[in-house]
Amino acid sequence: MRNMEIHQLCLFRRSYQVASWHSRISRRFLWAILFILLFTAYCLAGEGKPISITVVADHTKANGEPWDGIPGLGWGRGPTAIPIPNKNAPPDLAVCVVRLETPPECSMQYVNLKQYSLCQNSYDCIFKRVSIPDGPFGLIILDLDLRRHDLVGFLLMTAGKALTPDQRATLESEIRRRADQLAPPFSQGEKQRRLREMLVVPMGRCAEAKGCRLVQSEIRVNSAE
């Protein structure tokens, strides 16, 4: 009789241990699911819908100089490109989205730690599914070169609620700072050009049918396909 009681007690303890183990696993599983959901929500918070950006650059810079002079890459930009003299090659366009407190996100190719345009040697380029925040952001347009990138233009796009003067000044300052990092100004004239009043437009004004005119280019935006 006593042996039976001991056996039942052992079975009870084993069942209790198994139940406790399952309970701990379940709690850990639930915490893991909760963490994933919270992390995903945090990453997606403040994100707007992706957009497509069409950039059409002028055939020369604002000062009349060619985008890519001698020496240039007449046959594209990539690991197999052949450098040949080219008096006026089209630009190699790229766009970068600027937000506060995070590095710019640029739409371009990276090959062997080098940066290449998605549209090599072209005056126009469509950048599809560009991620943007759900509030105001900066947009920098570049002409990618082997040694030093050229600044095609920049602007501040607004979406949603209006910016306060302080918020606008902070974001404008960040856009100019990032532009100088991505494409350092080479001449005094270029430095002065970048100090001019920045174009600030609602994103809807740059819709595909209208477009927004910059100093050296024109851009159009629409919902990503």
How many domains does the chain contain in total? Answer: 2
User: Both 56 and 80 in a single domain?
Assistant: yes
Q: What backbone torsions phi and psi does residue 145 show, to the nearest 5 degrees?
A: -125, 165
* pLDDT at residue number 122: 96
Rounded Cα distance between 126 and 213, Å, is: 16
Supply the range of the domain harboring residue 84.
Answer: 51-223
pLDDT tens digits for range 182-205: 999 988 888 888 999 999 999 999
The verdict on 6 and 77 lying in the same domain is no
Whether 61 and 156 share a structural domain: yes
174 shares a domain with 214 = yes
Q: Are residues 65 and 38 in the same domain?
A: no
- Largest pairwise CA distance in the chain: 105
Residues 28 and 59 in one domain: no
Calculate ∠ Cα 150-153-69, nearest 5°: 30
The pTM of this model reads 0.72
125 and 29 both lie in a single domain:
no
Q: Say how far apart CA 23 and CA 211 lie, in whole Å.
A: 59
Question: 3-state SS of the chain?
Answer: CHHHHHHHHHHHHHHHHHHHHHHHHHHHHHHHHHHHHHHHHHHHCCECCCEEEEEEECCCCCCCCCCECCCECCCCCCCCCCCECCCCECCCEEEEEEECCEEEEEECEEECCEEECCECCCCEEEEEEECCECCCEEEEEEECCCCCCEEEEEEEEECCCCCCHHHHHHHHHHHHHHHHHHCCCCCHHHHHHHCCCCCEEEHHHHECCCCEECCCEEEEEEECC
pLDDT for 161 equals 76
Q: Within this chain, do residues 61 and 100 fall inside the same structural domain, yes or no?
A: yes
User: Quick one: 133 and 182 in the same domain?
Assistant: yes
Which residue has better confidence, 68 or 75?
68
- Give the burial class of 89: count Cβ atoms within 10 A of its Cβ; 0-12 exposed, 13-18 middle, 19 or more buried: buried
Q: Domain check: are 35 and 66 in the same one?
A: no
Q: Is 48 exposed, middle or buried (0-12, 13-18, 19+ CB in 10 A)?
A: middle
220, 211 in Cβ contact below 8 A? yes
Across residues 109-118, what is the average pLDDT?
90
Q: Which of 45, 62, 80 is the last residue of a domain?
A: 45
183 against 87, higher pLDDT? 183
The pLDDT tens digits for 136-157 are 999 999 999 988 899 999 999 9
147 in the same domain as 122:
yes
4-18, 48-62, 126-140: least confident range? 4-18
Q: Compute and round to an integer the Cα radius of gyration of the chain.
A: 27
215 and 126 within one domain: yes
pLDDT of residue 9: 52
Report d(CA 44, CA 40) in Å as an integer: 6
Which of 20-34, 173-187, 202-216 has the lowest average pLDDT? Answer: 20-34
Position 34 scores a pLDDT of: 36
